[in-house]
C-alpha cells in the first residue's frame, strides 16, 4: 500500500496538477467559488497558496499562455501574506526565483493552512532554496531536505521525485509546467526524478516519452523531452 501511495502522491498529483500547462490560451481553474476560509495550492512542488479571506466566494484561475493568475474575490497570497482582490498578476515560476522572492518579502505567512499542509509547503520551499543556493554557486551540503527519499542530489543538482511505482501500478504522467508526458513501459519498478534548475530528467527503470515515442531505460532525458542516454 505504501508504494502505491507513493505513485498517487508523485505521479497522479503531477498529472492532475498541471496537465493543461502546454495548452496556449486555456485558463485553468485552481479554485472555483471557494467559501470563506477555503484555500488552494497552485501546483505540486511550488509553495504558493491562495486563501479566501473575504466574506464571499473566491475563484482563482491561471492562464498558462500569459503566465497570469486571476483572482475574483478577496484572497491572501501565501506565503507572502499579500491581499489580492479582483486582479490579475504574475509570480516567479522557477524554483530559484521563487525562493529569492519569498525570502526578500521577509516573514513567511502560511495563513490558516492545516499543519500537515504547512509541513508540505515548508518542504517545497526548502527545495526551492536549495535550487537558489545551487544557482548562486553555493554548496548543497547544508540542504537537509536533499538527504535522500523524495528529494536528493543527482549529478550535482537538486532533484525531486516526480513519479514512482514498483510496477504494480502503471499509466502516464506529465511534467509540471511543461507539455511533456511520459508513460510507464517497465517491466519492474520506475523512479523518475527531475533536476533543477537544468530541467533534466533522471530515469531508473524504463519509460517512454509520449511526444517523441523514444524509450529511455536507466538513463537521461533532456528538458526538451529528447532522450540523451539510455541503456541498450
Angle of helix 95-105 relative to helix 115-135, nearest 10 degrees?
Answer: 110
Q: What is the C-alpha to C-alpha distance for residues 54 and 184, in angstroms, rounded to an integer?
A: 44
Domain limits for position 166: 142-229
- 151 and 127 share one domain: no
- 216 and 191 share one domain: yes
Q: Is the dihedral of CA 101, 106, 107, 109 positive or negative?
A: negative
Beta strands in 135-200 (DSSP E): 147-148, 151-154, 157-165, 172-174, 181-184, 190-195
Which residues, 6 or more positions from 142, have their beta carbon under 8 angstroms from its beta carbon?
133
pLDDT at 169: 84
* Boundary-marking domain end, from 83, 102, 134: 134
- 98 and 170 share one domain: no
Beta-sheet pairing, 68-78 with 58-63 = antiparallel
- 122 and 28 share one domain: yes
CA neighbor of 79 nearest in space, from 35, 54, 42, 30:
42
- 52 and 86 share one domain: yes
Model pTM score? 0.85
Using a pLDDT cut of 70, give the percent of the chain over it: 89
Per-residue model confidence as pLDDT tens digits over 31-63: 999 999 999 999 888 999 999 999 999 999 999
Q: Say if 197 falls within a structural domain.
A: yes
Q: pLDDT category, 65, cuts 50, 70, 90?
A: confident
* Boundary-marking domain end, from 134, 166, 199: 134
Q: What is the CA radius of gyration of the chain?
A: 18
Cα 171 to the center of its chain, rounded Å: 19
What would the mean pLDDT of 61-82 be, rounded to a whole number? Answer: 95
Q: Say if 13 falls within a structural domain.
A: no
Per-residue model confidence as pLDDT tens digits over 144-186: 999 877 999 999 999 999 999 999 888 899 887 788 999 999 9
- Overall number of domains in the chain: 2
Q: pLDDT category, 8, cuts 50, 70, 90?
A: very low
Per-residue model confidence as pLDDT tens digits over 214-227: 999 999 999 999 99
Per-residue model confidence as pLDDT tens digits over 109-124: 999 999 999 999 999 9
pLDDT at 19: 36
- 179 and 84 share one domain: no
- 42 and 128 share one domain: yes
Average pLDDT, the chain: 89
- 57 and 85 share one domain: yes
Q: pLDDT category, 13, cuts 50, 70, 90?
A: very low
pLDDT at 11: 38
* Boundary-marking domain end, from 116, 134, 152: 134
Amino acid at each position: 500500500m505504501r508504494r502505491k501511495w507513493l505513485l498517487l502522491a508523485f505521479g497522479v498529483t503531477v498529472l492532475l496538477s498541471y496537465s493543461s500547462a502546454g495548452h496556449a490560451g486555456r485558463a485553468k481553474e485552481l479554485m472555483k467559488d471557494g467559501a470563506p476560509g477555503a484555500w488552494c495550492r497552485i501546483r505540486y512542488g511550488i509553495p504558493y497558496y491562495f486563501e479566501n479571506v473575504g466574506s464571499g466566494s473566491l475563484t482563482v484561475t491561471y492562464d498558462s499562455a500569459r503566465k497570469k493568475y486571476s483572482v475574483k474575490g478577496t484572497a491572501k497570497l501565501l506565503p507572502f501574506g499579500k491581499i489580492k482582490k479582483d486582479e490579475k498578476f504574475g509570480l516567479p515560476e522557477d524554483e530559484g526565483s521563487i525562493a529569492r522572492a519569498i525570502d526578500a518579502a521577509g516573514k513567511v505567512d502560511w495563513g490558516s493552512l492545516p499543519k500537515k499542509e504547512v509541513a508540505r509547503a515548508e518542504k517545497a520551499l526548502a527545495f526551492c532554496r536549495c535550487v537558489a543556493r545551487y544557482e548562486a554557486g553555493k554548496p548543497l551540503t547544508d540542504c537537509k531536505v536533499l538527504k535522500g527519499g523524495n528529494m536528493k542530489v543527482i549529478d550535482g543538482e537538486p532533484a525531486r521525485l516526480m513519479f514512482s511505482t514498483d510496477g504494480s501500478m502503471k499509466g502516464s504522467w506529465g511534467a509540471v509546467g511543461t507539455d511533456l508526458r511520459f508513460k510507464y513501459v517497465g517491466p519492474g519498478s520506475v523512479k523518475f526524478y527531475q533536476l533543477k534548475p537544468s530541467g533534466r530528467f533522471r530515469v531508473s527503470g524504463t519509460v517512454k516519452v509520449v511526444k517523441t515515442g523514444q524509450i529511455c531505460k536507466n538513463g537521461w532525458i533532456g528538458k526538451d523531452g529528447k532522450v540523451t542516454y539510455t541503456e541498450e
